[in-house]
């Protein structure tokens, strides 16, 4: 018999399902992602740390798994919630990696609930380790994502070289970097070295450019990381992506705030103000930069008006809230990452 399972939200709402992954109890923030593909990439994305991920796609796992698709060397999502899980490759992969995964969840109702009431702490249960009432109590006792600094748990401990040669030397500060970011930098012609989240600023400033990576959690409690970014800008070319965008914003006097249910998926429209072009983008974040209508705000979300890009030429810095590496997702924003590497390389040769 298939083991039973359920999801208990902090507000007491319960969604029943069946376990197709590892047995156990997992606590985290219940969120949803609207991508129609990229399930393996999502589960291995460090930005999903401490989150229970609901897929809105009605069928998940139908094209199997491939280790080349993994965005890191391990799974980061606390649990996976699906309407219909297909296997056995996908479900075996989840089970082997100890991921709690539930199928048969009424994901449409769950997503509507999270849209109405916001993402919230929850507990995913596979098996009979705890009762429903106990799971609800655990969810209510779990911390909110607000105020949580999670980069220490996902950042590399030591620097490493991803690509040894290239036309521009790029340092990547790892707040939870995805492999696809590193691959896109290398394909654009960069020599890439990855550094921990607390890397020495003077060492970073010796590179032709520095990329501040995506990552999980709330940017506001990352006071030390923000201070390092503030010290770095103006000394070399800087590009921030996702959490890196938020840290650059905080370092330059902007504010961040928690979104009700976040932007997660590969179909998010973003207006590029300079050209008037609309980019369809891949996104994965629960916090955002508060809009000020300043001239430095180059991109804006067409969903809710939040800041999707900053340009600070006097500091040689820019940032993007969305994911230009598109891992996975549409390729509309690919040129933005490649253009930055081109500009850094031109500066090297000048």
Residue in 242, 245, 268, 299 annotated catalytic: 242
CB atoms under 10 Å from CB of 272, counted, come to 17
**CA-CA distances (angstroms) from residue 124 to 11, 53, 106, 232?**
14, 10, 14, 41
Nearest to 73 by CA among 95, 51, 43, 102: 43
| Known active-site residue 296 | no
- CA gap 268, 301 in Å, rounded: 8
**What six digits make up the tokens of 286?**
């629960």
Nearest to 244 by CA among 267, 225, 260, 224: 225
Interhelix angle for 243-251 vs 223-232, to 10°?
A: 70
Inter-residue contact 180 to 107 (CB < 8 Å): no
Which H, E and C letters describe 306-344, residue by residue?
CEEEEEEHHHCEEEECCCCCCCCCCCCCHHHHHHHHHHH
Residue in 41, 50, 71, 325 annotated catalytic: 325
Sequential DSSP letters for 28-71: EEEEEE--SS-HHHHHT-GGGBTEEEEE-SS-BSTT---GGG-S
Interhelix angle for 334-349 vs 179-187, to 10°?
A: 50
Q: How many residues does the chain have?
A: 350
Residues facing 81 on adjacent strands: 54, 102
| Known active-site residue 54 | no
Q: Catalytic site residues?
A: 242, 323, 325
């Amino acid at each position: 018999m298939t083991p039973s399972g359920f999801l208990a939200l902090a507000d007491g709402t319960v969604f029943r399902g069946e376990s197709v992954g590892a047995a156990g109890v997992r606590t985290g923030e219940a969120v949803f992602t609207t991508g129609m593909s990229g399930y393996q990439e999502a589960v291995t994305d460090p930005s999903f740390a401490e989150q229970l991920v609901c897929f809105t796609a009605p069928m998940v796992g139908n094209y199997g798994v491939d280790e080349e698709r993994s965005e890191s060397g391990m799974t980061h999502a606390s649990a996976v919630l699906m309407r219909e899980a297909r296997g056995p490759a996908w479900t075996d992969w989840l089970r082997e990696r100890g991921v709690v995964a539930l199928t048969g969840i009424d994901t449409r109702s769950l997503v509507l609930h999270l849209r109405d009431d916001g993402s919230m702490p929850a507990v995913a249960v596979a098996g009979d380790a705890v009762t429903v009432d106990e799971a609800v109590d655990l969810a209510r006792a779990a911390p909110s994502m607000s105020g949580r600094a999670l980069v220490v748990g996902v950042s590399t401990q030591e620097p490493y070289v991803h690509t040894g040669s290239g036309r521009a030397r790029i340092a990547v500060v790892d707040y939870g970097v995805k492999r696809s970011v590193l691959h896109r930098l290398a394909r654009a012609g960069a020599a890439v070295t990855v550094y921990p989240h607390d890397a020495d600023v003077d060492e970073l400033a010796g590179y032709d450019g520095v990329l501040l990576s995506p990552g999980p959690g709330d940017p506001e409690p990352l006071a030390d990381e923000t201070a390092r970014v503030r010290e770095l800008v103006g000394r070399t070319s800087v590009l921030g992506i996702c959490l890196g965008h938020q840290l650059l914003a905080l370092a330059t006097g902007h504010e961040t705030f928690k979104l009700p249910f976040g932007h997660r998926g590969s179909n998010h429209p973003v207006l590029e103000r300079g050209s008037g072009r609309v980019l369809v983008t891949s996104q994965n974040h629960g916090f955002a930069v508060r809009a000020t209508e300043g001239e430095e705000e180059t991109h804006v979300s067409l969903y809710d008006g939040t800041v999707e890009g900053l340009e600070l030429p006097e500091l040689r810095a820019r940032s993007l809230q969305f994911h230009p590496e598109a891992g996975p997702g549409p390729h509309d924003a690919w040129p933005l990452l490649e253009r930055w590497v081109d500009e850094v390389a031109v500066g090297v040769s000048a």
